[in-house]
Structure 1
Amino acid sequence: MITLYHSPKTRSTRIVALLKELDALEAVRIAVVTTARTDGSGGRDARNPHPEGKVPVLDHDGVLVRESSAIVQYLAELFPQAGLSVPPGDPRRGAYLGWLAWYAGVLEPVILFEAAGLSHPLLSATFRDNPTAQDRLAGALTQSPFLLGDRFTAADLLLHSPYAWFGKPGVPAIDAWVDRCADRPGARYATAFDAEHAPG
C-alpha cells in the first residue's frame, strides 16, 4: 500500500497535484493530517509517520520517503507511464536530476531567505540569491516552454510550486511558465482537493 500524508495548503499540495498528473490517485491513498503552521495553528498529528511531524511524507509498504524532491522523483519513476520522469539513458536525465536537486538546494532556500528578509554574504555565496535563481530559470525558459523542452515533467511541477504559493516574480518567462503549470489538471485538482479538505 502507498499512502501520502498530506495537509491542505502546504508543501504536500504539490504532491497531490503530482498524483493527478501521474493518474495515480487510485493507487495512492491520501491521508489528510494536521501539521503545525507558521501562524501558530494546527499541530502534530499522531497518525503522521514523518519523524518531525511534517508533510509531505510517503509510506510505501512501510518504507518512508521524505522531502518533496525525493518524493517527486520516487513517484514519477514509480508511475513511468505518465511520462513525467526522465529515465536513465535519456540524454536529458542529468538536467532533470539537476533541476530536482537545485529546487531543494537553491531555489526554495533563496526564496525563503528573501521572504524572511535575510541577507548575508555567506548565504549568497553558498545558495546564490533570488535574482540569480530567477536568471537561471528565465534562461532555461526562454529556450522552451518547460524546463526540459516542450514536455511538462515532474521538475516543472516541483519548481513552479513556490511561485504558485508566494506569487509570480514579475519575470515574463517565469510568469508565463508558472501560468502554464498552474493551468495543468494536477494543479487544478489539488486546489479543489484542498478546498474540500481544509480544516474548519
Structure 2
Amino acid sequence: MPVLYHSPQSRSDTIAVLVRMLNADVEIREVTIPREDGSGGPDPENPHPEKKVPYLVDGDEAVRERGAIIVYLTDAYPQAKLGPLPGEPGRGAYLSWLFYYQGIMEPLIILHWTGLNHPALTASLRDFDTMVDRLAEALEAGPYLLGDRFSAADMLCSSPFHWFPDLTPDVPAIRDWVTRCAERMAASSSSAAKAAAAEAPAGARSAEAAAAVDG
C-alpha cells in the first residue's frame, strides 16, 4: 500500500485532504518536522531525503513536492475527477496551475509576507500584484481555476490563503474562491472520512476517521 508521510498543520495537510477526497488506498503516516517555534524535529522514520513532508512512497516509487504528488494521485484515482487525465480537456491548464503554484505563487507569497524585494526577484518571478491578476483573470471564466470544474489545482493554489487569510488579495472573486475551496474540501474530506469509518471493522478506525465521525 502507498504511504503518505504527513505532519499535521504543515504543507502536507492539503495532500492528506486530497487522499481522503480521492478515497485513495493510501496509508497516512504521521511524522514530526522542525517547527518555527523550535518544537518538533527531523523524524528518523521519515524517508524523505530532507525529512520534509509531504512524501509519497508507492512501492519502488517515491514522489516529493506537492504538485508532483497531486498529479500522481489524481491520475491514479481518476474516479474522483479531481484532475483531468492526459488527453482530457483542461489537462494543460491543470498542469500549468500546479507548476505555477510551485514555481511562482508560493515563492511570491513568501517574499510578500517577509517584505523582501529585489529587481532580480521581480524579473524572474513576476510580482505579487501580477500573480493576483492571473488568479483574478482565471476566475472570471468560472468559479474555479478550470472554469466550472473543481480540481486539486484549486486545493493547492488556495491553500496558502487558508493558512494566512490576511494575505488573501482584496479581490472579491479571489476571496469567494478561497471560501468555496475551503468549504468544499472540508465537506468532502469529512464525508470521505465518515464513509471510511463506517466501512472499517469495529475497532479498526483510523484516528482521523474517528475524529470526523465523533467530533
- Normalising by structure 1, what TM-score? 0.91
- Listed as ranges, the gaps of 5+ residues in structure 2 are 191-206
> 1-side partners of 2:181 and 2:86: how far apart?
25
> 1-side partners of 2:51 and 2:186: how far apart?
25
- In the other structure, the counterpart of 1:143 is 141
> 2-side partners of 1:57 and 1:186: how far apart?
22
Structure whose CA Rg is larger: 2
- In the other structure, the counterpart of 1:39 is 37
The one of 127, 130, 138 equivalent to 1:129 is: 127
How far apart are 1:87 and its partner, in Å? 1.3
- In the other structure, the counterpart of 1:21 is 21
| Alignment of structure 1 residues 1-200 onto 2, 5 Å | 1-24=1-24, 27-167=25-165, 168-186=168-186, 189=189, 193=208
Change (3 A) 1:187 1:4: farther
Determine if contact 1:34/1:42 at 8 Å carries over to the other structure: yes
Question: Which structure is higher in RCO with an 8 Å CA cutoff and minimum separation 6?
Answer: 1
How far apart are 1:142 and its partner, in Å? 1.8
Determine if contact 1:18/1:186 at 8 Å carries over to the other structure: no
CA deviation profile, 1:136-179 (whole Å, cap 9, x unmatched): 00111122000011110111111110111111222111110000
> 1-side partners of 2:147 and 2:188: how far apart?
23
Determine if contact 2:21/2:189 at 8 Å carries over to the other structure: no
> 1-side partners of 2:92 and 2:52: how far apart?
29
Alignment partner of 1:184: what SS? Answer: helix
Alignment partner of 1:54: what SS? Answer: coil
> 1-side partners of 2:187 and 2:162: how far apart?
10
Moved more, 38-47 or 7-16: 38-47
Moved more, 181-190 or 33-42: 181-190
Letter in 1 for 2:5: Y
Determine if contact 1:65/1:71 at 8 Å carries over to the other structure: yes
> 2-side partners of 1:165 and 1:129: how far apart?
20
Letter in 2 for 1:10: S
> 1-side partners of 2:82 and 2:181: how far apart?
13
> 2-side partners of 1:40 and 1:9: how far apart?
15
- Normalising by structure 2, what TM-score? 0.84
- Listed as ranges, the gaps of 5+ residues in structure 1 are none
How far apart are 1:38 and its partner, in Å? 1.9
